[in-house]
Structure 1
């Protein structure tokens, strides 16, 4: 079975919250995609409740596309400690951190229920499992801690 980089990361050595470039892959035509570890919660010490994480996911899907060129997808980790962000090209960790921070600030301070896309049976596979209140509270906490630009040291916070 292919080895997955994320499962080789020592989750006991990282210091969340942080942004980490997992890697850059090139397609057969030379197109590059970058995979980022957007970690909000210290692994094995806590997790974002599903409803709040789900709402953060729906909000980040639009907010990051407004703030960062080339976003392909933002998907939550099953462990509920953060997200994979997939982009075209090679945005810098700094640019990703700024875009994510600005998005979290919006969620924490301005987001209203009408800003959350895809919260109907037609737009979401589990539309009843959302919490804007939880999303706001987690966003406030993450913004207050700051997103490190290094997974193993608190840098650029």
Structure 2
């Protein structure tokens, strides 16, 4: 091992073999120098190390939910995919509860499945996306249906409390 100093990252300390996806989990809350709170959530859609959402579907879920979630609660800063393609970081101002975030994710996924057409997906042209050719609404809808069929847990280790 080298002598490079690395900070501990909470998400890498999580035992990915014990979580039960889909779920929404509060990773943590950071407070700025003026007391501002920023909350970081793990929105896990696929069981880690058991599968992953193909990039085109994940990309379309990202773009669509980034827009839909902003209509469901105030303070969304970012909705970004994990590199492992099993879910997303959701970053928000303040301290919204897991229940609030899970309900917003669930209703957004339901809209993606039921109401979103290709023309509704934001950022699918070269001027608005850095990889505009890598989208699939079909894949996004299929993966979203799977998540909704399983239900979104409010606890990463216990599926008895669903949103």
User: TM-score range, shorter-chain basis?
Assistant: over 0.9
Selected match of 1:61 from 63, 66, 69? 66
Q: Distance in 1 between matches of 2:23 and 2:111?
A: 18
Selected match of 1:82 from 87, 111, 115? 87
Classify the secondary structure of the residue corresponding to 1:147.
coil
Q: Distance in 2 between matches of 1:148 and 1:25?
A: 24
Runs (4+) of structure 1 exceeding 6 A deviation are: none
Q: Distance in 1 between matches of 2:135 and 2:161?
A: 31
Is residue 21 of structure 2 the alignment partner of residue 16 of structure 1? yes
Selected match of 1:145 from 131, 146, 150? 150
5 Å-filtered alignment, 1:6-155, equals: 6-155=11-160
Normalised TM-score (structure 1): 0.99
Q: CA RMSD in A?
A: 0.6
- Cα distance, 1:66 vs. partner? 0.3
- Cα distance, 1:68 vs. partner? 1.4
Q: Distance in 2 between matches of 1:155 and 1:67?
A: 25
- Cα distance, 1:114 vs. partner? 1.2
Structure 2: unaligned runs, 5 residues or longer:
1-5
- Residues 99-153 of structure 1 deviation map (CA, whole Å, 9 limit, x = unaligned): 0000000011111011111111110000000000000001111011110000000
- Residues 61-118 of structure 1 deviation map (CA, whole Å, 9 limit, x = unaligned): 1000000110000000000000000000000000001000000000111110111111
- Cα distance, 1:156 vs. partner? 2.3
- Cα distance, 1:155 vs. partner? 3.2
- Residues 16-66 of structure 1 deviation map (CA, whole Å, 9 limit, x = unaligned): 000000000001111100000000000000000000000000001100000
Normalised TM-score (structure 2): 0.95
Higher Rg of the two aligned structures: 2
